[in-house]
Structures are given as structure tokens and as C-alpha cells.
Structure 1
Amino acid sequence: MKTIMTISALALLGMSFVSVAAEPVQDEKLATLRQAPLNVEPKPPVMQKVVNSDVRQVRNYPMQPPVIPHKVDGYQLDLKVNKCMSCHARGRIGDSQAPMVSVTHFMDRDNNFLAELSPRRYFCLQCHVPQLDAKPLVENDFVDLEHLLKANANTEGKH
């Protein structure tokens, strides 16, 4: 009898959570990039083109991994082959004219240098990404520290 009452109480408690979760949420309270109601399946936007300029881009902040300035579609990047290293390995940069991977990619977690790429740095696309010719989804008013320091120096010099 005690077990039946416990099960009934738990079932009643569970139903109260379901009823609370089923209540509609007011749209104006949610900050979202979603452009359609949850119950509507919108047509996906057209895929943007990958920037394929082979021109190195300026980093936006210190320690930012460099972005990939070319297409990487079809590159094999698995436990057996790393296509990126066919151009970016130390022994290939003379022929490819690509920048060599950073020496940090040859260090283990204790900062010991290795003869080969560190397993932690083998999968390039974890940090390095190709750029798309796409309009930003949200506005960005980021100002680089260097610009802030220059602006500050200019205002101090005028006084």
C-alpha cells in the first residue's frame, strides 16, 4: 500500500511539471536568432560561399588561431592522414609557400617539444576555421585594444 501511494505521489508530481513546461512562453521574453516559431520548419538559407583568397587575414585578438583563407572541402583529416600538413609541415613550406604550423603544435601539455605534431593539435579544424562571405547574424561593436590605446593616447596628447 505504501508503494502504491509513493508511485501515485510521484506520478502526480511529474504531471505538474509537464503542465508547467507545456505553458506557452511569451515571445518578447526570449532573446533568439530564430526567425520562425518553434512549430514551423522554415526553408534554410542558401549556404554562403567560402572565402578562397589565399590572403592571410589579420587576427581580431591576441592568441586567436589564424583563420583558413582557402577552401578545405574534401580534405582528409583523420587518424591516418592530415591533408593540412601536406602544405603547412616544416618540410613542405618551401614548395607550398604556406605558413608553417606554430611551434606550439609540437608541444605536449607539459610544454615539452615533440618530434611530431602533438595529438592535441592534430585536428586543425578544432581551432582553425574557413571564412564565409556572409553577413553577421548580430551586430558587433568590438574595438581592438590597440585602437583603444591609440585613441586614448590621442585624447591625452590634446590636453
Structure 2
Amino acid sequence: MRRQNRSGRSLTRSPIVVAAAILGFLGFAVGAISADGVNIVPPLTGAAQPMSEVKAPPPARPIVDDVRRMRNYPEQPPVIPHSIDGYQLTLNTNRCLSCHKREFTEGSGAPMISITHFMDRDSQVLSDVTPRRYFCTQCHVVQSDARPLVPNTFQDMKDIGQKQK
């Protein structure tokens, strides 16, 4: 038995439902094709056709001056100011901790990892790095000289708004 609305008409034949389905399909089709009838290639993929094999560009050079960078916004994970090529980061080994763990920072001169890396999801402090903060590169990235993929108009909060006198 077909479901019916209060007027007794079948919802599957309702002109409003049919019109909405057609408009939805046309909107999807128009969004995938430009005005001249050519497929639009997303700007981040370059000139290649989607799903085609394209050789990856060489990675950007890491900045390895070991200078700590100012963060762009509160709570931004700090960037890694040195190369991590060849670092082993697996379930059993984390080379980052050989310098950044509390007991090794005095000898290495590296900054200690944040206390938040020792807290579990219930904010209980553990004796070692919590598993959800163990893989450093899921938040921290190597600083490089790569050009941005998209234009960036970011402005620091201190540069916008009313200035204090």
C-alpha cells in the first residue's frame, strides 16, 4: 500500500516531489559542468583529468634552521623546525620522544612536549604519552618553503579591530 498524504494523493506522484527531484539532479549536473559545456577540474588537482595518473611533484624543502616559529592562532600545534626524514614513527617506536620527552630535554635542548600529551580523554594525567597523542605528525608538520595551494588572507587578531591607546 502506498503512503498517502492527508489529501489522499500518493506522495510518490506528487508534482512537488517530482519537481524537487528534477531540480536537484539539474543542480548537480550544472555544478559539474561549466557554462561552455566543459567539465570543471577542481583547482587543487591542476590541469589533469580526475582519476588520471599524475606524477607527484617533488616535496617542498624543509626549513631546517631550528628556529621556533610564532604560532598563527591560539591552540595551533607548533611546526617542526627541523627535517624528520628517516624518523621512525610506528606503534613501537617514536623517534620524536628521544629528544622531546621530559627526561631527555636537558641533554637534547629540545622543548618538552606539552602536558596535554599525557592526558587521556577524561583529562586524567598518565605517566607516559597518551596513545591519542603518540603520533606527532597527525598534528605537527615540518615547516617548509612550499607555496600555498590557495590564496591566504589570514590576519592576526592584533592587526584587526580597534587599537588600544
| Residues 42 and 114 (structure 1), Cα distance of their counterparts in 2 relative to 1, 3 Å cut | closer
Q: Normalized against structure 2, the TM-score is what?
A: 0.71
Question: What residue in structure 2 maps to residue 38 of structure 1?
Answer: 49
SS in 1 for 2:103: coil
Distance 1:76 1:62 in 2: 29
Name 2:114's counterpart in structure 1.
102
Distance 2:150 2:97 in 1: 34
Unaligned 5+ residue runs, structure 2? 1-24
TM-score of the pair, normalised by structure 1: 0.73
- Of the three residues 72, 79, 86, the one matched with 2:84 is 72
Contact 2:118 2:128 in 1 (8 A): yes
**Distance in 2 of aligned mates of 1:103 and 1:70:** 22
More helix by percentage: 1
Instruction: Choose the corresponding residue for 2:132, options 120, 124, 128.
Output: 120
The structure whose RCO (Cα within 8 Å, separation 6+) is larger is 1
Partner of 2:12: none
Contact 1:70 1:130 in 2 (8 A): yes
What is the Cα deviation at residue 43 of structure 1? 5.1
Deviations 1:18-64 (A, max 9, x none): xx98xx72258665223214176555433321111111011010000
Question: Identity over the aligned pairs, expressed in percent?
Answer: 49
Summarize the Cα distance change of 1:29–1:43 in structure 2 as closer, same or farther, 3 Å threshold. closer
Structure 1 spans left out of the alignment, 5+ residues: 1-16
Q: Secondary structure at the match of 1:75?
A: coil
How many equivalent pairs are there?
A: 133
- What is the RMSD computed on CA atoms of the aligned residues? 2.6
Q: Residues 13-32 of structure 1: matches in 2 within 5 Å?
A: 25-26=33-34, 27=38, 32=43
Return the offset for 1:146: 2.2
Contact residue 36 and residue 42 of structure 1 kept, 8 A: no
